[in-house]
Amino acid sequence: MSARDDFLASIRRSLGVKGNEAIRRQIVTERLERAPRGIVPARGQVSGEERIALFKTMAEASLATVTEVASPTEVPQSIALFLRNHNLPATLRMGDDPRLAAMPWTETTLEIAHGPSEGTDLNAVTHAFGGVAETGTVALVSGHENPSTLNFLPDNHIVVVSAKDIASDYESVWNRVRFAYGKGSMPRTVNWITGPSRSGDIEQTLLLGAHGPRRLHIVVVRD
């Protein structure tokens, strides 16, 4: 008997089952297929301006900063201003996300670098897959468009999110992931990020900037 068979046999013995019961198999298959929603808090079930406002309130409560711009063309100026306001160098690393690539970065004095981070970058920008109003969370997917290292290694992480991609709840984001990647499939990594890195490990005192970014700045694009 292989370790795997032994392992499963031990579970089946305790449960008092054989593993070939048709009814059990059917219950499991159906649940995986239907993926029923549980309880979704009413808090996020708002739309339009109210939803954007909730997203902003919740993100700020998690100690992120949020700014809004009217169109994608205004993003580079807005980010340049954010860096200047915090006395940060005018450098920025990004992947090759087409939405970011289409923005007029040359209108700013920002020095742009491309590709994943090797740990020496101060600032990076990534484009979110979506947002969740319920908790002010941004959802990012891995890939060359937005390498995961950009979400964690730089000191200052800037996330661009389209207002139309801000959902009420987590479940709505999963629906979009299924639509984009197929049911039962996932990108290598989905990152939900709610505020900047922190630790409470020393005397339960909240300190920002543990291993990940010290700042999380979100730019909401209205278009």
Binders of another protein among residues 176 to 215 (CB under 8 A) are 177, 184-205, 207, 209-213
Q: In Å, how far are 148, 188, 205 from 81, measured between CA atoms?
A: 25, 33, 31
According to the binding rule CB under 8 A, does residue 167 interact with another protein? Answer: no
Size of the site for another protein (CB under 8 A): 82
One of 4, 48, 85, 106 touching another protein (CB under 8 A)? 4
Report d(CA 14, CA 70) in Å as an integer.
60
Report d(CA 23, CA 13) in Å as an integer.
18
Contact 223, 163 (CB under 8 A): yes
Give the max Cα distance, the chain: 69
The amino acid that residue 159 corresponds to is V
According to the binding rule CB under 8 A, does residue 60 interact with another protein? Answer: no
Site for another protein in 108-137 (CB under 8 A): 115-116, 118-119, 134-137
Report d(CA 88, CA 82) in Å as an integer.
8
Structure tokens that stand for 124 in this block = 């990076």
CB of 41 to another protein, least distance (A): 5
- For another protein, which is the closer residue by CB, 104 or 200? 200
Site for another protein in 19-58 (CB under 8 A): 19, 24-25, 27-28, 31-32, 35-39, 41-43, 58
One of 16, 22, 98, 106 touching another protein (CB under 8 A)? 16
CB of 161 to another protein, least distance (A): 16
The amino acid that residue 133 corresponds to is A
